[in-house]
Amino acid sequence: MTRVTSSLDPFSPEFRADPYAAYEELRALGPVVWLEQHDIWCVHHYATCQKVLSDYAVFSNAGGGGIGNYFVEKPWRKPSIILEVDPPEHTRTRSVMNRVLSPRVFRELRAGFEEVAAGMVSEALAKGEIDGVWDLSRRFPLKVFPDSVGVEDEGRDNLLIYGAMVFGAFGPVGDWYKSFMAEHADVSDWIIARCQRDRLAPGGIGQMIYEAADRGEITDEEAMMLVRTFLSAGVDTTVDSIGLCLKALAERPDQYALLRADPSLARNAFEEATRYDSSSQSIFRTTLCETEIEGQKIGKHEKVMSFLGSAGRDPERWEDPDTFDITRKIKGQIGYGVGIHGCVGQMFARLEGEVLIRAVAEQVERLELTGTPEFRLNPGLRGLDKMPMRLH
Binding site for ligand OVV (CB under 6 A): 65, 80, 82-83, 166, 228-229, 232-233
Query: Which residue's C-beta sits nearest to ligand OVV?
Result: 80
Q: Which is nearer to ligand OVV, 33 or 169 (CB)?
A: 169
Q: Which is nearer to ligand OVV, 150 or 380 (CB)?
A: 380
Q: Minimal distance in Å, beta carbon 232 to ligand OVV?
A: 4
Q: Please give the helix or strand (H or E) that residue 5 lies within, else none.
A: strand 5-6
Residues with Cβ within 8 Å of 350's Cβ and at least 6 positions away in sequence, in order, are 267, 270, 271
Helix boundaries (H) for the chain = 13-17, 19-29, 46-54, 89-100, 103-127, 139-149, 157-168, 175-183, 187-194, 205-214, 220-233, 236-251, 253-261, 266-276, 308-311, 346-363
Q: Which is nearer to ligand OVV, 34 or 307 (CB)?
A: 307
Q: Minimal distance in Å, beta carbon 90 to ligand OVV?
A: 11
Q: Minimal distance in Å, beta carbon 76 to ligand OVV?
A: 12
How crowded is the C-beta side of 152, counted as CA atoms within 13 Å?
12
Q: Minimal distance in Å, beta carbon 303 to ligand OVV?
A: 16
Q: How far is the C-alpha of 276 from the C-alpha of 292, rounded, in Å?
A: 29
Q: How far is the C-alpha of 389 from the C-alpha of 136, rounded, in Å?
A: 11
Q: Minimal distance in Å, beta carbon 181 to ligand OVV?
A: 15
C-alpha distances out from residue 357 to 118, 277, 349, Å: 10, 16, 12
Q: Which is nearer to ligand OVV, 207 or 229 (CB)?
A: 229
Q: How far is the C-alpha of 94 from the C-alpha of 307, rounded, in Å?
A: 23
Q: Minimal distance in Å, beta carbon 228 to ligand OVV?
A: 6
Q: Which is nearer to ligand OVV, 44 or 94 (CB)?
A: 94
Q: Which is nearer to ligand OVV, 122 or 346 (CB)?
A: 346
